[in-house]
């Protein structure tokens, strides 16, 4: 009896502590902006595949031979889509990404990163042709970029602001409306 009461009290205490931590996290400013100083921007110092941290840097070559660099300040925000040709959710998402790229290509860079270490270059190119991807398609032949972002599933979509800070991280298929809302929010920053 005493043991179960102790476990109950301990459980209530842990729940209370978790709720307190959650409230403190919500109260903290995670926008990356310095409070009370107007337009100054304070960038995070940590790099990692998490919202609010600097996006891990990588450089990959596209199917047309152009090299793209991700990481640090950029002219436009970046939408990074990690995918594989055999992935059913990636196939379902592809037509929506084509539409989103057409709509936002002037205000955002969209990079489709084929994780070729889990795929093949020929199948990736067939996928690109089948779904009509016209945005830059990069080949992550050794899977290093995907590993930098702790990739665990396809598709994985990452939205990075102009300062190189991750603003959204979506693992798995999301409704196009959710992606578009996140893009709109990113572009408005």
User: What is the mean pLDDT, run by run of 10 residues, along the chain of 189 residues?
Assistant: 39 38 37 40 70 96 94 95 98 97 97 97 97 97 96 96 96 95 93
Residue labelled with tokens 């929010």: 185
Q: Which pLDDT belongs to residue 43?
A: 60
Residues facing residue 79 across a β-bridge: 110, 159
CB 80 within 8 A of CB 155: no
- Beta-carbon contacts of 165 under 8 Å, excluding residues fewer than 6 positions away, are 32, 43, 44, 52, 53, 54, 55
Question: Would 184 be classed as within a structural domain?
Answer: yes
- The reported pLDDT for the residue numbered 69 is 94
Task: Specify if 51 maps to a domain.
Answer: no
Model pTM score:
0.76
What CATH number is associated with residue 120?
Answer: 3.40.30.10
The answer, yes or no, to whether the previous bond of 8 is cis (omega within 30 of 0) is no
How far is it, in rounded angstroms, from Cα 78 to Cα 91? 21
Write the DSSP assignment of 136-158 as a string of letters. -EEE-TTSHHHHHTT--SSSEEE
Note down the domain range covering 129. 58-188
Give how many domains the chain has, as a whole number. 1
User: In this structure, is residue 16 part of a structural domain?
Assistant: no
Q: What's the pLDDT score for residue 164? A: 95
Query: Is 43 contained in some domain?
Result: no
């Amino acid at each position: 009896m005493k043991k179960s009461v102790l476990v109950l009290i301990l459980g209530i205490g842990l729940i209370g502590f978790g709720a307190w931590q959650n409230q403190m996290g919500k109260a903290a400013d995670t926008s990356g902006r310095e409070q009370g100083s107007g337009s100054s921007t304070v960038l995070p110092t940590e790099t990692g595949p998490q919202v609010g941290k600097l996006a891990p840097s990588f450089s990959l070559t596209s199917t047309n031979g152009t090299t793209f660099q991700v990481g640090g300040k950029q002219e436009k925000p970046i939408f990074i889509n990690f995918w594989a040709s055999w992935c059913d959710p990636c196939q379902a998402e592809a037509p929506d990404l084509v539409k989103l790229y057409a709509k936002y290509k002037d205000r955002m860079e969209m990079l489709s990163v084929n994780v070729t270490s889990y795929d093949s270059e020929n199948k990736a190119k067939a996928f690109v042709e089948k779904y009509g991807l016209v945005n830059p398609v990069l080949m992550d032949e050794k899977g290093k970029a995907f590993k930098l972002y702790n990739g665990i599933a396809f598709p994985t979509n990452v939205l990075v602001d102009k300062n190189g800070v991750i603003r959204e991280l979506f693992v798995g298929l999301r409704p196009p409306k959710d992606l578009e809302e996140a893009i709109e929010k990113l572009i408005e920053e």
